[in-house]
Structure 1
Amino acid sequence: VPKTYKGPHITFPITKNQLEHAMDALQKNQTLHAKYVVSLLQKVRQQLATLPNVNVISLMNHQRLVICGDVHGSMHNLLHVLEKNGLPCRGLLYLFNGDFVDRGESGVEVLLLLCLFLLYEPNCVFLNRGNHEDFIINIKYGFQKEVQRKYKNHADIILDLVNDVFAWLPLASVVNNKIFVCHAGISRKITYEKLMNIERNKFQTLLKLPDGSWSSTLIQQWEMLCDLLWSDPMPGPGLQHNKKRGFGVMYGSDVTKSFLDENNWNVLIRSHECIPNGFAYEHDDKTVTVFSVSNYYSPFSNKGAFIIVWPDSQIKPYQFIVINNKLQKHFSFRKQVNSIETAAIRDLKIKILKKQDILKKRFQCLETNIGKTQLTGNMHLNIERTIKQGLPWANLAPLLVDVTNAGLISYEKMFVDCSHVSKVDQKADLASVEEGRLYENEDVLEEIFRDMDLDGSGSISQQEFQEACSRLCTLPEKQEDMKEKIDLFIKLLDRNHDGHINFNEFLEAYRIVSSNSSAKIIL
């Protein structure tokens, strides 16, 4: 890499600082050096090759999963989804359901960002293959030309690696053993067992039709992949050839029901087609389509959406529109903080501090064998016996206290760190109560937020907030008095100064109000 290169640098394993700089550069359409692109794609190919054909995702009590549909090279829409939910972390998982590139102008940047996320948080980011992860489709719909334009002399080697990466992408995902997620759809040829046995890396394209050199097994696998990546649901029962696309099938509600019942699954989530409202329920709500590019054909032609899956396997779609394909504010890694997760970790530290006498006695019993520095396994076991939260302490340990390369933790230092939280915030107990109120009322707050969000954009405008307040106060003389206070309140809520109130800002407003009263939402 020449010294004149001013962009981000990448080494492996990727550090948080490197991810931060790379993310900032990619959203500014700065070109990552070809050497780093090649290294990144090689590492991702290596990582993907270790994965099964079907991702298995199990959500813990403190986690949620965001399912993102087609992105099609739209960095603005991808960043909007990230801005609304937060960056991938232990508490926030992402599943990107194919069609990352083509049609949009930032396919390279979208792909590289997803690759960075996958390597930085491999247990929190999952990718499914779509029908546009195919080199012949990329020739037709623009991604190949985009790579050639941006990387000129290095385009051939980059495209070869991209083709390998696409071929190694998992084909589907199962969430909580209840939700099946694939890019397009299903058919009667597809079974879970057969899906797991497909030699997926042999299919860099599905547009190459079988010939005499193909074995019967390879032909069957090709047919299943075509159905998985090209099919669409249709009203009514049955199966028929998908004439609109030329590949895959149109499958009816009976096919969906049979497939789900056979595997004891509740719902099929797919993407693959632009939906005016961003998402759609079909087949007695057993098939859900999610499409994550707003303004796909033209400004305001459609909304985008993403789906959140909760630990109990409940799903909730959320709509949005990226106005003029621009974010109101540059999305910075440094400023992205998941406030709820931060508050939860603080709450756990306070609980540990309250039980420190009991924990110390437990740890001291082991000192004669292990010493003051406890192995993480012993720490996890003792904390769970004492705190009794049923949490994945092995995953939470790095967030609670420093863990050495040998996997060791000083319990004395842990208590000092927990005590520091209490000293910094002298109202820690009150804060814990506030967060408890927040968790208790989050579903109701979400319903109120969606009622106020009249255009379904995922954020509340000043006008929408004022209209909601007017509905609550019907006296004209009071409305006029309130207007000035409402304007001031909106400015206080709008933490990122983008002119809108997102859900995290809305939750923070409730936390502030509830901390000064016995506020509780009553339906």
Structure 2
Amino acid sequence: DLHGQLDDLFLIFYKNGLPSPSKSYVFNGDFVDRGKQSLEILIVLFTFLLIYPKEVHLNRGNHEDHMVNLRYGFAKEVMQKYKAHGKKILKMIQNVFCWLPLATLIDQKVLIIHGGISDTTDLDMLEKIQRNKPQPAQAPSMANRLEFSRWVRQTVQEQIERCRRLVDISESESEELTYSSMVSLTDLDGPCRAHQEEWKQILDILWSDPMPQEGCRVNTVRGGGCYFGPDVTRKILEKYNLQFLIRSHECKHEGYEFCHNRKVLTIFSASNYYEIGSNRGAYVKLGPDLVPHIVQYQANKTAHTLTMTQRISRVEESAFRALREKLFAHTSALISAFKAYDKDDTGRITLSNWATAVESVLHLGLPWRMLRPQLVRSTADGMLEYKSWLDDLAMEQRSPEHIQSSLLEVIYRNRSNLETIFRIIDRDHSGLISFEEFHQTWKLFSSHMNIDLTDDGINDLVRSIDFNKDGNIDFNEFLEAFRLVKQSQ
């Protein structure tokens, strides 16, 4: 859940990098409502979806719904920001919401859904639901959410006031009331019942919550979906040969929570959801092994005072940082490419040749001439001293000590492998390696490699890696440890 909190989205991109062909993202619903910048979040996510349709995936949440938006702020936000065309834009966005997938399946092993499941959840039926197929003249046979919702609204318009009298929907109430719960209070039959099963499938996926008790019971608090127990999770996993479920929908103090014997993971990405300091946000990273690696964060007070331009520049800086890292990882190849233009070995080439050489090495198809001011300091004569530029690039990626740059290059090229090792040692997937986790892994490692390492030796090693002395090892400290060990050798 991002819930209109643009700072959290920018912070995720800043920490983890922008979507790209090598970095896929799944956003698990509830992009809008409550926060003040829901529209900006949609524009950013839809843009990335258009640029990288195979790498960016947007699941639908329970707040991607017109009736919920009317109550929780998104409809009002659109009308305020686009006074002349607000209604038209809002209608267009609602149509897009109806097209959003209800679930994402990773490697046929990890199911990502916004809310949860029930004892009747049928993934095959969900896949076949025609989410948007207008049939305005055939309301009784509608099989899609959009047209069905329109029909329901027309049918029960005169009963809404009666529903409001039956249900307390004051703004002070912390729990949510959906339009579906209003419908459940009316005596609908005929066309409504004809699509009851598909309707229930969608409600369960978007609105359900896990509970510690066995079984499945109606979620009376939310007014839609159910509470599902560990046995329900186990049956779904076995039926579809899945490893675990990832869902959102509930604010968690730490930004995430495992339940049902670690087979259900809740991820909530909106930090400071209730107020500043109320909760951390989190996202989960999955590598080829599908082991969840949790990254926590909290947008600080400073972020709330930044202008939009300043916030965007932070995201841009994240992209340029990743670009500089990629340039550094290809230092050797770049030197060879530059020398092809520097026949006299002056150490200088034209900025135009620099752009051509960089593209010949990285093959990214980027407008290097336009990006050059952000990557290379301007020169009066239009020439670049490429050796000093590469030295400056190396300084960004390492500590000031003189370390053999070819070795560093190898480390950065193998960064993903080191991250996999980090996740293996980080047994509780907190994003930090505790001293105890390090100790257990290193004892196993030293035994396997027949290395005689005492407990005191392991303790000295782990303390030397914990540079900031906070009692844990983060990934940057882990990378730095590899460099320092190699340097000492």
What TM-score, normalized by structure 2, do the two folds share?
0.63
- Aligned in 2, Cα 1:398/1:171: closer, same or farther, shift over 3 Å? farther
Q: Do the aligned residues in 2 keep the contact of 1:133 with 1:166 (CA within 8 Å)? A: yes
Please tell me the residue identity of whatever aligns with 1:207.
Y
Alpha carbons of structure 1 residues 217 and 313: separation in structure 2 relative to 1, 3 Å: farther
Query: Which secondary structure state, in structure 1, belongs to the residue aligned with residue 265 of structure 2?
Result: strand
**CA positional deviation for 1:334:** 3.4
Aligned: 1:336 with 2:278:
no
Deviation at 1:294, TM superposition (A): 1.3
Is residue 207 from structure 1 mapped to residue 179 from structure 2 by the alignment? yes
Q: Does the residue aligned with 1:332 lie in a helix, a strand or coil?
A: helix
Q: Secondary structure of 2:217's partner?
A: strand
CA distance, structure 2, for counterparts of residue 218 and residue 439 of structure 1: 47
Quote the residue 1:289 is aligned against.
266
Name the structure 2 match of 1:359: none
Of the two, which has the highest radius of gyration?
2
> 5+ residue gaps in structure 1?
1-69, 355-396, 405-420, 454-470, 476-481, 491-501, 519-523
How far did 1:517 drift? 3.8
Q: Deviations over 1:86-141 (max 9, x none)?
A: 11011211110000011111111111111111112212110000000000000011
Match for 1:282: what amino acid?
A: C
Q: Secondary structure at the match of 1:152?
A: coil
CA contact (8 A) 2:59 2:100 kept: yes
Q: How does 1:43-122 map to 2 (within 5 A)?
A: 70-122=1-53
- Find the residue that maps to 1:149 and give its secondary structure: helix
Closer/same/farther in 2, CA of residues 72 and 436 from structure 1, 3 Å limit: closer
The residue aligned with 2:56 is 125
Matched-pair contact (CA < 8 Å) for 1:94–1:126: yes
Aligned to 2:140: none
> 1:434-513 counterparts in 2 under 5 A?
434-435=411-412, 438-443=415-420, 450-451=432-433, 506=477, 509-510=480-481, 513=484
1:337, 1:399 → 2: CA distance?
A: 19
Q: Percent identity?
A: 32
Deviation at 1:336, TM superposition (A): 1.8
User: 1:277-307: CA deviations, max 9, x gaps?
Assistant: 1111111111111111111112221111111
Q: What do residues 143-200 of structure 1 show as CA deviations (whole Å, max 9, x unaligned)?
A: 1111111111110001000110111111000011110000000112221211111122
240, 243, 249: which one aligns with 2:226: 249
Out of 77, 89, 95, the position equivalent to 1:158 is 89
SS in 2 for 1:280: strand
Change in CA separation of 1:424 and 1:321 when aligned onto 2, cut-off 3 Å? closer
Corresponding residue for residue 65 of structure 2: 134
User: Please, what is the CA RMSD of the aligned residues?
Assistant: 4.0
Matches of 1:320 and 1:333, distance apart in 2: 16
Q: How many residues align?
A: 354
Is the counterpart of residue 235 in structure 1 residue 212 in structure 2? yes
One-letter amino acid of the counterpart of residue 258, structure 1? K
Provide closer, same or farther for how the CA distance between residues 135 and 444 of structure 1 changes in structure 2, counting only shifts above 3 A: same
**1:401 — aligned with what?**
363
**Residues 415-469 of structure 1: CA deviation (Å, up to 9, x unaligned):** xxxxxx999869774344333664554345566872589xxxxxxxxxxxxxxxx
- Select 1:309's aligned residue among 269, 272, 286: 286
The equivalent position to 1:167 in structure 2, one of 92, 98, 123, is: 98
- Rounded to whole Å, the distance in 2 between the matches of 1:255 and 1:474 is 42
The answer to whether the 8 Å contact 2:13/2:315 transfers is no
Aligned mate of 1:148, from 69, 79, 83: 79
The amino acid that maps onto 2:37 is S
Q: How far 1:333 moved relative to its partner?
A: 4.1
TM-score by length of 1: 0.59
Q: Equivalences for 1:353-364 in 2 at 5 Å? A: none
The answer to whether the 8 Å contact 2:214/2:230 transfers is yes
Q: SS at 1:305's partner residue?
A: strand
Is the 1:184–1:270 contact (alpha carbons within 8 Å) kept by the matching residues of 2? yes
Q: 1:503 to 1:114 in 2, by over 3 A?
A: farther
Distance of 1:399 and 1:270 partners within structure 2? 41
* Partner in structure 2 of residue 273 of structure 1: 250
Q: Which residue is equivalent to 1:196?
A: 127
Cα pair distance change 1:190/1:91, threshold 3 Å: same
Partner of 1:357: none
Q: Distance in 2 between matches of 1:504 and 1:338?
A: 20
Kept after mapping to 1: 8 A contact 2:15/2:318 = no
Q: What runs of 5+ residues in structure 2 fail to find an aligned partner?
A: 133-143, 150-177, 337-358, 367-385, 392-403, 436-458
Asked if 1 retains the 8 angstrom alpha-carbon contact of 2:331 and 2:409, the reply is no
Q: In structure 1, what is the Cα distance between the partners aligned to 2:327 and 2:128?
A: 41
Give SS of 1:132's match: coil
Cα pair distance change 1:399/1:124, threshold 3 Å: farther
* 8 Å contact from structure 1 (residues 184, 272) kept in 2: yes
2:139 is aligned to none
The alpha carbon displacement at 1:351 in A equals: 8.9
Q: Answer yes or no: is the 8 Å Cα contact 1:434–1:515 preserved in 2.
A: no
CA contact (8 A) 1:91 1:341 kept: no
